[in-house]
Amino acid sequence: MKLIQAGIYQIVSPFPEFQRKDAYALRWDLEEHPRVTKGLPYVLLYFIVSRGETMLVDCGWNTDDSLLALQEQLQERGTDVTEIDKLLLTHAHPDHCGLGGRLKELTECSIWMHEAEVGFLDSRYRDPDALLGRMNEWFAKHGVDEKDKEELERSSMPMRFFVSLFETDNLVSGGEEIRVGDFVFEVIWTPGHSPGHICLYERNHKLLISGDHVLPQITPNVSLHPQQRENPLGDFLDSLDRVAELDVARVLPAHEWDIDWFKKRVDEMRDHHRERLGDMLATVGHEGSATATDVAKRIEWTTGSYDSFPPFMQRAAIGEALSHLVYLTSQGELKQFEENGVVRFQRS
């Protein structure tokens, strides 16, 4: 556990493939020796306590080791997990919401989440059959070979078993204030990475709990898929502009480490997407047309080539390529058309 300032603590929660002690060590090693890892070793949670009130922001995967990590780090400051009053979830991805149901049983905490995320608990984790059918059609529509469709379609299914389901007590839409003793957090809706992603801004202390929206070194995956909004990259860039107007002294992200160079990081992320959009445009080329899958296979990704990725990362690469292609279409750089049931893009 790291003390951010009086009343705010950072907690390291391991991904399923990492032991918690290894995740603790990597947290400090990655800050001292920044590098991009092929997978994420941990998610960062934030425990807030003031005047006897408590809130946990995000909760980690539903594994015994994640729960033990949370318990032992809270115990470092003499707190028990049962003392959590509120659980605020930045979005419904399993590394952020997975322990929700177990914590609800242990603590009777109230759970807060954006209204756009709640439906995903059923469609992704409780009963995903309808979504699987939609994904099969979606992959075919965007150029995935028939032989690869089923593997990509089912690649996210193992994540179901790392989410302990729950009912959300308080739905937010953005603009609400959540008080924890002397702290007052403003809910800021930041769609892009997920349709209902939210950040928390504490104006008096100039803190931004940024979830996956602003990260120190990597950029969040911004994918277009059947459950996204129609232009997620446009949403993400607009959301980045929205938070850029805030007076932020320290960013508390969900991965990597906390930083005090907010404006510089926002500029870096804008530059990254400008470069990536140029790459996507060049990959489509001046002659002919390309599908999102074609582009995903041609792009040089930070963590390797498309063919070197496991199916889940291939799926993410196609979604990210598509979000950039759709954004370029919205800007008039590309034209989108359908040919024999397959969506293709070409230069305007």
> What is the model's pTM?
0.94
For 99, phi and psi rounded to 5 degrees? -85, 5
Confidence of residue 57 (pLDDT cuts 50, 70, 90): very high
Question: What pLDDT is stored for residue 53 in this prediction?
Answer: 97
Which tokens is 52 given?
């006897």
Question: What pLDDT is stored for residue 184 in this prediction?
Answer: 98
Q: Which residue has the tokens 């059947």?
A: 226
Q: Which CATH number fits domain 2-128+158-271: 3.30.300.30, 3.40.50.720, 3.60.15.10, 1.20.120.550?
A: 3.60.15.10
Helix 232-244 × helix 262-284 angle, to 10°:
160
Q: How far apart are CA 172 and CA 86, in angstroms?
A: 14
Neighbour count for residue 176 (Cβ, 10 Å) = 15
Q: How many CA atoms lie within 13 A of 237 on its CB side?
A: 13
Cα 191 to chain centroid distance, Å, stands at: 10
Tell me the residue length of the chain: 348
Question: What pLDDT is stored for residue 130 in this prediction?
Answer: 81
Domain ranges of the chain: 2-128+158-271
Above 90 in pLDDT, residue 126? no
Question: What pLDDT is stored for residue 26 in this prediction?
Answer: 94
Residue 341, phi-psi category: left (phi > 0), alpha (psi -120 to 50), beta (remainder): left
**In sequence order, what are the residues at sequence separation of 6 or more whose Cβ sits closer than 8 angstroms to the Cβ of residue 287?**
none
More confident residue, 285 or 16: 16
Task: List, in sequence order, every beta strand (DSSP E) within 40-189.
Answer: 42-50, 53-57, 86-88, 110-114, 170-172, 177-180, 183-189
Give residue-wise pLDDT tens across range 102-114: 999 999 999 999 9
Above 80 in pLDDT, residue 158? no
Q: How far apart are CA 236 and CA 272, in angstroms?
A: 13
Question: What pLDDT is stored for residue 129 in this prediction?
Answer: 79
Please list the alpha-helical segments (H only) found in 208-261. 232-244
Give residue-wise pLDDT tens across range 159-168: 788 999 999 9
Q: In 251-289, which positions are buried (b, 16+ CB within 10 angstroms) versus exposed (e)? A: bbbbbbbbbeebeebbeebeeebeebbebbbebbeeeeb
Q: Which residue has the tokens 């299914």?
A: 157
